[in-house]
Structure 1
Amino acid sequence: MLTVSSIAHVAIRVKDIDASLDFYVNKLGFSEMMRLDKDGRLWLVYLRITDDQYLEVFPEGEGDRAAEREAVGFNHICLAVPDIQKAVAELDALGIERIRPVIKAADNNWQTWIEDPDGHRIELMQMADDSLQFQAIERLRAAAK
């Protein structure tokens, strides 16, 4: 069996690299780590989420928007936030429209949703102490003992 320690990065293709970098760097606060060129042109930009998690942003995407929710393939990115109400206030101050209101979801976590300039869906989630994820982690830890 393969041992996987984490998700290292998610890669997206965007139509307008400047608009995307403005959104992810200037509004969401990601840091641009590095750029890679290929054949004399910008090939991709690495944005730091954590020291070992990144968002790869490839320019020159085709089409008008990311695929709809029901399409086969990439569905969304989920970003953890410590306080969903504070995150909503920050989004409002930045003028970032939410595409879904704050709700306590089926897994007992608080969430709201936004989109980047290309329509990639982004879930913002505050993990709750009574979430199904925490309950599952506890069961897995107990079973491993």
Structure 2
Amino acid sequence: MNQVLVEICLRVRDIEATLDFYTNLFDFEIASRREFPEDKFDLIYLNSPGTSVQIELTYNYDAEPYEIGNGFSHLGVTVDDLEKMHEICKASAYETGELKGLSGGTPYYFFVTDPDGYRIEVKRKI
């Protein structure tokens, strides 16, 4: 049996700030947006460039702040030019960590945090 990962769902509080993060800082594109005002939530699907995986953003109109569980760590994306993306993220309003490598090795990743506190690991494309 063949299984394929198709989406990851993130619950978000500020949909416009979150869309700005994923579509302007990164190159995600809005695939669809479905609004359910009677049920007080919206679903926005973002395409991840070069893959069939989507991020589903769930915006609940009256939600209290979400707690990101201690079992969740991060999402990961790869980029062609790690140093350039690091500079773009550092120049943004988003919390951006330093370039790192494991055990003091050559840097090949860093983390940036989205408006809802989800950490994104940005790695050099291998």
Higher relative contact order (CA 8 A, sep 6+): 2
Following superposition of structure 1 onto structure 2, how do residues 92-131 of structure 1 map, counting pairs within 5 Å? 92-98=90-96, 100-105=97-102, 110-128=108-126
Letter in 2 for 1:67: I
| RMSD (Å), alpha carbons | 2.5
Identity of aligned residues (%): 25
Following superposition of structure 1 onto structure 2, how do residues 1-145 of structure 1 map, counting pairs within 5 Å? 2-4=1-3, 6-38=4-36, 40=38, 41-50=40-49, 52-60=52-60, 62-64=63-65, 66-67=67-68, 71-72=70-71, 74-98=72-96, 100-105=97-102, 110-128=108-126
Letter in 2 for 1:64: P
Cα distance in 2 for residues equivalent to 1:64 and 1:102: 30
Q: 1:123 to 1:35 in 2, by over 3 A?
A: same
**Conservation of the 8 A alpha-carbon contact between 2:48 and 2:54:** yes
Cα distance in 2 for residues equivalent to 1:95 and 1:16: 15
Aligned length: 122
> SS at 2:34's partner residue?
strand
- Partner residue in 2 for 1:140: none
For residues 8-67 of structure 1, give each alpha carbon's deviation from its aligned partner in whole angstroms, at most 9, with x where no partner exists.
111100011111111111222211111113354552001111351211100027443542
Cα distance in 1 for residues equivalent to 2:20 and 2:125: 27
Whose helix proportion is higher, 1 or 2?
1
Cα distance in 1 for residues equivalent to 2:37 and 2:14: 19
Give me the TM-score of the superposition, normalised by structure 2: 0.79
**Conservation of the 8 A alpha-carbon contact between 2:100 and 2:106:** no
Q: 1:43 to 1:65 in 2, by over 3 A?
A: closer
> SS at 1:87's partner residue?
helix
Q: Which has the larger radius of gyration?
A: 1
Letter in 2 for 1:45: I
**Which residues of structure 2 form unaligned runs of 5+?**
none
Letter in 2 for 1:105: L
Q: Which runs of 4+ in 1 moved over 2 A?
A: 37-43, 60-66, 92-97, 105-109
**Conservation of the 8 A alpha-carbon contact between 2:78 and 2:125:** yes
Cα distance in 1 for residues equivalent to 2:102 and 2:88: 21
